[in-house]
């Protein structure tokens, strides 16, 4: 074995020993809904963790033992900070002391639907200044296939160190599902792909210390694409049922009954449900990351494009159905009082980013309707330059509306009561399931 390979081997053995003995210091860049739970998981396993969080407010909160991520109890943060297992840095001074550094920063889309990797590039720039031989760097941020090799690797190698020789580099997609009581970091299989075999092996060893099942794949690019397939699969199947909802409308059928009955098939089928569109920070975005990359390679990803058109058209379709429902009472959208129930992007979350409910409300307001909403999880929502505030769901508020429009089915609402009091209801989420009366469904 030549000298260089011997050095890599020695560094890998050293890293595996530190991981095994829990003496490896783990750095996590970005303490959001992915990075903070990951940091807590490693600290809970006995590693010394340094979280790098650019927000001084968030860093101060964590140092005081206060969590801002609902899935991470403040008590746990306080205990780990107290024990010295979790430290929070805002400058990155401690990065050189870390044996492994995991980057968990956001990768939003620009208005042009192009990926905005500026946060990843900034994190890699800061890390390159402090990179040292033997470190393991892992990117978890959801991104297009090729990012680790084409963006992260050169940025880190600007340090003069070489990936696969002086440091190890891998990609591992995050599978954090905020609010999911069943699937947590420890019991959700973790896909890992390195720029070479040693990087894959070390990243697998690190995650195996906190995750029950690690799934190695042949490259970082494969691991990047696994994540995008997972969420493109969802976007395409949601689009299929959204189109099925429009088919059922024309056939005079109940799409909810049809999907529910199809879901009795014990193999080869999994149910998705129609709605006023798709929201959140994963499903609308992730397929676009893949589409952008493929277009740069002169390939048109037609399924993703069609799903984007169908899902993107659901707010307008929903508004057309609300207009039709009002028409039953000889009312126009213009001037009608509309009470929307649920603006969060999915039930039992307070996040209204990209929520289709806001698109529907904006379109209704544009048509001249007087729009208000109730969502106990979202006290105020900003969209299209306007701020709406949640109204109390009083009897009077329901009775005063010409139509109540259910856009997100929070289980905390008594839909039977709403349907009893309301003049008319349009239910885009089958929330008022089984309720008879003046209820129209998507």
- Quick one: which of 44, 234, 260, 337 contacts ligand SAJ (CB under 6 A)? 234
Q: Quick one: which of 353, 355, 442, 363 has its CA closest to 406?
A: 442
CB of 418 to ligand SAJ, least distance (A): 19
Nearer Cβ to ligand SAJ (154/189): 189
Please give the residue whose beta carbon sits closest to ligand SAJ in the complex.
280
The site string for ligand SAJ over 189-228 (x = CB under 6 A, - otherwise) reads: ----------------------------------------
Q: Rounded to the nearest whole angstrom, what is the least distance from the CB of residue 310 to ligand SAJ in the complex?
A: 11
Least CB distance to ligand SAJ at residue 208 (A): 20
- Rounded to a whole number of angstroms, the minimum distance from the CB of residue 242 to ligand SAJ is 7
For ligand SAJ, give the closer residue by CB, 292 or 345. Answer: 345
* Binding of ligand SAJ by 71 (CB under 6 A): no
How many positions of this chain bind ligand SAJ (CB under 6 A)? Answer: 19
**Residue 32 binds ligand SAJ (CB under 6 A):** no
Residue (67 or 231) nearer to ligand SAJ, CB: 231
Is the Cβ–Cβ distance between 88 and 31 less than 8 Å? yes
Between CA 182 and CA 232 the distance in angstroms is 22
Q: Return the number of the residue (221 or 346) whose C-beta is nearest ligand SAJ.
A: 346
Under the binding rule (CB under 6 A), the answer on residue 177 touching ligand SAJ is yes
Nearest to 418 by CA among 341, 342, 344, 364: 341
CB of 348 to ligand SAJ, least distance (A): 11
Told to check if 410 binds ligand SAJ by CB under 6 A, we report no
- Whichever of 67 and 430 has its CB closer to ligand SAJ, that residue is 430
Q: Please confirm, yes or no, whether 282 is among the known catalytic residues.
A: yes
Which one of 231, 308, 318, 336 is in contact with ligand SAJ (CB under 6 A)?
A: 231
Nearer to ligand SAJ, 177 or 196 (CB): 177
Minimum CB separation of residue 186 from ligand SAJ in Å reads 15
3-state SS of the chain is CCHHHHHHHHHHHHHHHHHHCCCCEEEEECCCCCHHHHHHHHHHCCCEEEEECCCHHHHHHHHCCCCCCCCCCHHHHHHHHHCCCEEEECCCCCHHHCCEEEECCCCCECCCCCECCHHHHHHHHHHHHHCCCCCEEEECCCCCCCHHHHHHHHHHHCCCCCECCCEEEEECCCCCCCCCCCCCCCCCCEEEEECCHHHHHHHHHHHHCCCCCEEECCCHHHHHHHHHHHHHHHHHHHHHHHHHHHHHHHHCCCHHHHHHHHCCCCCCCCCCCCCCCCCCCCCCCHHHHHHHHHHHCCCCCHHHHHHHHHHHCHHHHHHHHHHHHHHCCCCCCCCCEEEEECCCCCCCCCCCCCCHHHHHHHHHHHCCCEEEEECCCCCEEEECCEEEEECCCCHHHHHHCCEEEECCCCCCCCHHHHHHHCCCEEECCCCCCCCCCCEEEC
Q: Which is nearer to ligand SAJ, 92 or 279 (CB)?
A: 279
Tokens of 353: 């980013």
Least CB distance to ligand SAJ at residue 161 (A): 31
Which window, 20-28, 36-44, 269-277, 322-330, contacts ligand SAJ (CB under 6 A)? 269-277
Contact positions with ligand SAJ (CB under 6 A) in 306-365: 345-346
- The residue whose two tokens read 């024309």 is 250
Closest CA to 429 of 369, 371, 353, 375: 375
Position 175 contacts ligand SAJ (CB under 6 A): yes
Q: CA-to-CA distance for 100 and 206, rounded, in angstroms?
A: 8
From 238, 326, 371, 425, residue interacting with ligand SAJ (rule: CB under 6 A): 238
Given the residues 98, 104, 248, 282, select the one marked as catalytic. Answer: 282
Q: Interaction with ligand SAJ in 271-290: which residues (CB under 6 A)? A: 272-273, 275, 278-280, 282-283
- Stretch in the footprint of ligand SAJ (CB under 6 A) among 53-61, 124-132, 172-180, 382-390: 172-180
For the CB of residue 174, give the shortest distance to ligand SAJ in the complex, in Å: 6
Active centre residues (catalytic): 282
Instruction: Tell me which residues touch ligand SAJ (CB under 6 A).
Output: 174-177, 180, 230-231, 234, 238, 272-273, 275, 278-280, 282-283, 345-346
């Amino acid at each position: 074995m030549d000298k260089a390979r011997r050095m890599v081997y020695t560094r890998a053995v050293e890293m595996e020993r530190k991981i095994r003995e829990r003496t490896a210091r783990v750095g996590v860049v970005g303490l959001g809904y992915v990075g903070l739970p990951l940091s807590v998981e490693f600290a809970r396993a006995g590693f010394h963790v340094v979280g790098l969080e650019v927000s001084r407010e968030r860093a101060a909160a964590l140092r005081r033992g206060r969590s801002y991520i609902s899935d991470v109890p403040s008590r746990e943060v306080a205990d780990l900070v107290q024990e010295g297992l979790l430290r929070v840095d805002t400058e990155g001074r401690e990065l050189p002391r870390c044996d492994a550094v995991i980057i968990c920063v956001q990768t939003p889309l620009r208005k042009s639907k192009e990926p905005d990797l500026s946060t990843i590039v900034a994190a890699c720039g800061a890390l390159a200044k402090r990179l040292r031989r033997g470190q393991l760097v892992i990117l978890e941020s959801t991104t297009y296939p090729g990012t680790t090799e084409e963006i992260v690797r050169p940025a880190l190698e600007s340090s003069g160190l070489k990936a696969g020789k002086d440091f190890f580099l891998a990609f591992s997609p995050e599978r954090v599902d905020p609010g999911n009581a069943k699937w947590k970091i420890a019991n959700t299989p973790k896909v890992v792909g390195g720029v070479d075999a040693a990087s894959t092996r070390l990243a697998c060893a690190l995650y195996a210390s906190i995750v029950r099942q690690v799934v190695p794949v042949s490259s970082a690019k494969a691991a990047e694409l696994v994540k995008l397939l997972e969420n493109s699969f969802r976007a395409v199947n949601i689009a299929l049922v959204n189109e099925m909802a429009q088919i059922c409308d024309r056939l005079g059928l109940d799409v909810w009954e049809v999907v529910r009955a199809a879901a009795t098939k014990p193999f080869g089928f999994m149910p998705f449900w129609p709605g006023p569109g798709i929201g959140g920070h994963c499903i609308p975005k992730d397929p676009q990351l893949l589409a952008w990359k493929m277009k740069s390679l002169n390939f048109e990803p037609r399924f993703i494009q069609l799903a984007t058109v169908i899902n993107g058209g659901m707010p307008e379709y929903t508004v057309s159905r609300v207009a039709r429902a009002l028409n039953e009472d000889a009312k126009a959208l213009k001037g009608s009082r509309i009470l929307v129930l649920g603006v969060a992007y999915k039930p039992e979350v307070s996040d209204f980013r990209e929520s289709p409910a806001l698109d529907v409300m904006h379109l209704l307001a544009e048509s001249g309707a007087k729009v208000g909403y109730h969502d106990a999880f979202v006290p105020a929502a900003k969209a299209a330059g306007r701020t709406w505030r949640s109204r109390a769901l009083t009897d009077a508020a329901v009775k005063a509306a010409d139509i109540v429009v259910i856009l997100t089915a929070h289980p905390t609402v008594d839909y039977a009561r709403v349907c009893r009091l309301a003049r008319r209801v349009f239910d885009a989420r089958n929330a008022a399931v089984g309720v008879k009366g003046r209820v129209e469904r998507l």
